[in-house]
């Protein structure tokens, strides 16, 4: 078939199949002779492109837009160079970045902007290890007077002391830091109000004790120990240097001490506690005391009188609790004496102790959750009130009536029974009331007890119920540490 090229450069006379394969190759075509406009739509198919013919060098920058990539066209197999365990995130410039795997047992956490690895721990990142941190639960009453050596007030909180004549009233108060400042709504604070001063000696510590089973994972020793973080809010008209103290109850007791400067305005105290690599053997049971944590109120040097010196701690470090001789690391020598005047008072709230190297947001537990936690350690059967129907009773013989009480929650250990006095209780029945001379218990376990109402004059098998005779009556089941 003749091939004609007319004056306009148009080629005619070529029909399909007119040229043998391979006649027109890249060398036959002038540079830039084949433009996009001369290629029909969809004329170049995958079958017409040799394997590996299109390389990165032949693709212009930004030539392939996101819209030109089919959904799911780029699979994981196409992403080379990302080692096992690494993840892709967006960086501050909006570009992809690779994060390497964390260490064993670490979890990925976010600060609201970026992500990073952090220690996990048994209680989890952000979990608050402190019980009753906002002072919501007061089963002994919302005002407790005469709080002295080892006296409890708000549930789970006590005044530790090595003795002395000091005392204070501890009460629930609505004086709290502003929510706009605190970033959380704290319903209450604990108000510590000195009622009996002590200037000559003594060591005191507003603190909480936590079971070993709740802190094993933090103090495993060596590289297995974990860093933690503590925050709380406080203010006092007795301004100056106080000490935060975290003490462990291992075979060799350890403690971390940190000085804080308190004013008469609400302040948030944030304390980073490094891992204690020297943590040692715990021993004992998981329900035994594991740590004691809180704020030191007094750490006076009493060694001159042959007693202990509790003001020998070194600031901002882990150390042994016992420093040899009569020296102990409760507070530093800069610690003020909160009990030096009956004018002194302190407000404190919003405690959080968590695993990790930085604080996370404060999250309140519900009241139901909080009181269940607290009743593991303390439960009032009667709490300074006139009460009816304490327990259903029946006489076994003529001298005492017996019954059964099941506790609200299982106790830490078999609890001890504390009551006001026997005459505050009575047995009520159809023939009248019988005054108790004494109260007792038998068969007590961690979940229940048998109350013994010793009230003579009954008849064997006679039934009734327990009640009180005074609004001062109390009956407590205690399983504190």
pLDDT of residue 276: 96
The Cα 268–Cα 232 span in angstroms is 6
| Burial of 458 (C-beta count, 10 Å sphere; 0-12/13-18/19+) | buried
Say which range, 46-50, 198-202, 411-415, has the weakest mean pLDDT: 198-202
User: How much is the average pLDDT of 80-94?
Assistant: 78
pLDDT tens for residues 350-387?
999 999 999 999 999 999 999 999 999 999 999 999 99
Whether the per-residue pLDDT at 104 is higher than 60: the answer is: no
The Cα 156–Cα 296 span in angstroms is 16
Whether the per-residue pLDDT at 303 is higher than 80: the answer is: no
pLDDT category, 411, cuts 50, 70, 90? Answer: very high
User: How much is the average pLDDT of 393-415?
Assistant: 97
- DSSP for 302-353 reads -GGGTS-B-B-PPTTEEEESB-STTBBBSS-TT---GGG-TT-EEEEEEEEE
User: How much is the average pLDDT of 155-162?
Assistant: 95
pLDDT of residue 183: 94
pLDDT of residue 219: 94
Whether the per-residue pLDDT at 179 is higher than 80: the answer is: yes
pLDDT tens for residues 282-295?
888 999 999 999 99
Per the DSSP assignment, residues forming a β-bridge with 196 are 167
* DSSP helix/strand/coil, 188: coil
pLDDT of residue 383: 93
The residues, any chain, with a CB within 8 Å of residue 384's CB and separated by 6 or more, are 141, 471, 472, 473, 474
User: How much is the average pLDDT of 224-240?
Assistant: 97
**Where is 245: in which H helix or E strand?**
strand 240-248
pLDDT tens for residues 429-468?
988 899 999 999 989 999 999 999 999 999 999 999 999 9
Using an 8 Å Cβ cutoff, are 394 and 402 in contact? yes
pLDDT of residue 80: 62
| Burial of 417 (C-beta count, 10 Å sphere; 0-12/13-18/19+) | middle
The tokens 């096992």 sit on which residue? 84
Of residues 125 and 263, more confidence is placed in 263
The residues, any chain, with a CB within 8 Å of residue 456's CB and separated by 6 or more, are 398, 399, 400, 434, 437
pLDDT tens for residues 430-441?
888 999 999 999
Q: What pTM was computed for the model?
A: 0.75
pLDDT of residue 398: 95
The Cα 258–Cα 215 span in angstroms is 20
Per the DSSP assignment, residues forming a β-bridge with 294 are 207, 245
Whether the per-residue pLDDT at 423 is higher than 80: the answer is: yes
The residues, any chain, with a CB within 8 Å of residue 220's CB and separated by 6 or more, are 226, 279
Q: What is the DSSP letter of 365?
A: P
Query: Encoding tokens for residue 9?
Result: 């450069």
Of residues 289 and 29, more confidence is placed in 289
pLDDT of residue 75: 62
φ, ψ for residue 68, nearest 5 deg: -90, 0
pLDDT of residue 270: 98
The residues, any chain, with a CB within 8 Å of residue 84's CB and separated by 6 or more, are 101
Mean residue pLDDT of the chain comes to: 88
């Amino acid at each position: 078939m003749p091939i004609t090229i007319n004056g306009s450069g148009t080629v005619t006379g070529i029909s399909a199949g007119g040229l043998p394969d391979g006649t027109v190759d890249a060398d036959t075509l002038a540079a830039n002779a084949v433009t996009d406009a001369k290629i029909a739509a969809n004329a170049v198919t995958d079958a017409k492109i040799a394997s590996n013919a299109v390389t990165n060098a032949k693709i212009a920058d930004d030539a392939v837009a996101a819209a030109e990539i089919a959904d799911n066209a780029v699979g994981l197999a196409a992403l080379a160079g990302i080692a096992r365990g690494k993840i892709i995130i967006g960086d501050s410039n909006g570009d992809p970045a690779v994060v390497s795997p964390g260490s064993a047992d670490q979890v990925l956490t976010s600060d609201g902007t970026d992500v990073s690895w952090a220690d996990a721990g048994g209680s989890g990142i952000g979990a608050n290890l402190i019980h009753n941190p906002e002072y919501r639960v007061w089963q002994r009453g919302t005002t407790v007077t005469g709080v002295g050596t080892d006296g409890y007030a708000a549930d789970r909180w006590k005044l530790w002391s090595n003795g002395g004549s000091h005392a204070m009233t501890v009460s629930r108060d609505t004086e709290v830091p502003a929510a706009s400042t605190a970033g959380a709504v704290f319903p209450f604070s604990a108000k510590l109000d000195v009622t009996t001063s002590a200037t000559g000696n003594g060591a005191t510590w507003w603190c909480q004790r936590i079971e070993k089973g709740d802190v094993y994972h933090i103090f495993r020793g060596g590289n297995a120990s974990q860093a933690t973080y503590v925050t709380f809010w406080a203010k006092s008209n007795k301004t100056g240097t106080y000490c935060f103290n975290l003490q462990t109850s291992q075979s060799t007791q350890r403690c971390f001490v940190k000085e804080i400067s308190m004013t008469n305005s609400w302040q948030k105290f944030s304390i980073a506690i490094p891992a204690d690599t020297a943590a040692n053997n715990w021993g004992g049971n998981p329900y035994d005391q594991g740590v004691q944590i809180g704020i030191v109120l007094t750490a006076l040097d009493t060694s001159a009188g042959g007693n202990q010196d509790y003001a020998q701690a070194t600031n901002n470090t882990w150390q042994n609790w016992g420093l040899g001789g009569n020296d102990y690391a409760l507070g530093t020598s800069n610690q003020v004496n909160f009990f030096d005047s009956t004018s002194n008072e302190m407000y404190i709230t919003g405690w959080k102790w968590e695993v990790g190297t930085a604080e996370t947001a404060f999250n309140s537990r519900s009241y139901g959750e909080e009181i269940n936690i607290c009743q593991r350690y303390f439960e009032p059967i009667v709490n300074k009130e006139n009460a009816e129907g304490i327990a259903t009773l029946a006489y076994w013989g003529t001298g005492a009536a017996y019954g059964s009480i099941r506790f609200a929650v299982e106790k830490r250990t078999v609890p001890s029974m504390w009551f006001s006095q026997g005459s505050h209780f009575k047995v009520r029945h159809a023939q009248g009331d019988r005054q108790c001379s004494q109260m007792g218990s038998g068969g007590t376990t961690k979940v229940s007890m048998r109350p013994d109402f010793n009230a003579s004059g009954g008849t064997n098998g006679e039934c009734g119920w327990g009640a009180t005779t005074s609004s001062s009556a109390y009956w407590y089941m205690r399983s504190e540490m």
